[in-house]
Amino acid sequence: MTTLGLSDGPDGRPERPPVHYQISVTGRQAGLFFLLLLAALALAFFFGMKTGAAARKGPGAVATLVNASDLPVPTLAPSDGSRETRKSGTAAEEALGFATEKRAALKEAAAAATPAPLPTAVPTPQPPVPTPAPPAPPKEEVSQKAAPKGPFYVQVLATRKAPAADELRKRLKEEGFAADVSAVPGKEGWFRVRVGPFKDRAKAEAAAKKIKATDKLIKNTPMVVP
């Protein structure tokens, strides 16, 4: 064995040379592996976000069932004996007249609790406002007074000069008119020349027009006075 260049080991077995393994990966395989890795990371991220959102919303269905299992057991309904007791008590109340009063009291309480409908306000018709009558026009004092009665005179002149009044009187008499001279009442030193008297005012007005037309020296229009 020595002559062949092989040495025996401690067990007398020949030593084997070390073995090396080599894995060859193509570019397509490397790209596919990378894509699978990205998909796994995306799925892990998606499920993690979904779990976090569910935790924020509230406990899941499993937690709800677990909590529901810890609720106390509801109390059982009363036995038939208690029902019979209530029935017998109600029958006794009805026999004594208490149940009727209780029902009436309950009805009154329900009626008092129910708000009564508000009455609809009916507008009250307002009476028409009377329109004030227009004031009556003031009556003239002349219309209130009775028409003056005769006799009427035609006053031709009123002057302070007695000679002028006497001259006019003479001239009117010459013209056929019954003229006279008299003092003016309430005015000292004044004289008036009048023609008349006339029983009718119309006759006095006709005489005044005739005097004005006959005597051209008269400047003023003669006027009819009572």
List the structure tokens of 88. 């017998």
Confidence of residue 56 (pLDDT cuts 50, 70, 90): confident
User: What pLDDT digit, counting tens, does each position of 159-206 carry?
Assistant: 999 999 999 999 999 999 999 999 999 999 999 999 989 999 999 999
H-only helix segments in the chain: 27-57, 61-69, 80-96, 98-113, 141-144, 162-174, 201-214
How far is the C-alpha of 184 from the C-alpha of 225, rounded, in Å?
Answer: 12
More confident residue, 186 or 98: 186
Q: SS3 of 157, please?
A: strand
Q: What is the mean pLDDT of residues 118-134?
A: 70
CB–CB of 134/178 below 8 Å?
no
pLDDT tops 70 at residue 222: yes
Our measurement of the distance from residue 209's CA atom to the centroid of its chain's CA atoms, rounded to an integer in Å, reads: 77
List the structure tokens of 73. 């057991």
Neighbours of 159 (CB within 10 A): 16
Confidence of residue 21 (pLDDT cuts 50, 70, 90): low
Whether the bond between 115 and the residue before it is cis, its omega within 30 degrees of 0, is no
**Which of 129-133, 137-141, 179-183 tops mean pLDDT?**
179-183
CB–CB of 179/168 below 8 Å?
yes
How far is the C-alpha of 218 from the C-alpha of 168, rounded, in Å?
Answer: 9
CB–CB of 224/153 below 8 Å?
yes
CB–CB of 205/224 below 8 Å?
yes
CB–CB of 16/22 below 8 Å?
no
Q: What are phi and psi of 223, to 5 degrees?
A: -125, 150
Neighbours of 225 (CB within 10 A): 13
How far is the C-alpha of 148 from the C-alpha of 139, rounded, in Å?
Answer: 18
Q: What is the mean pLDDT of residues 35-47?
A: 93
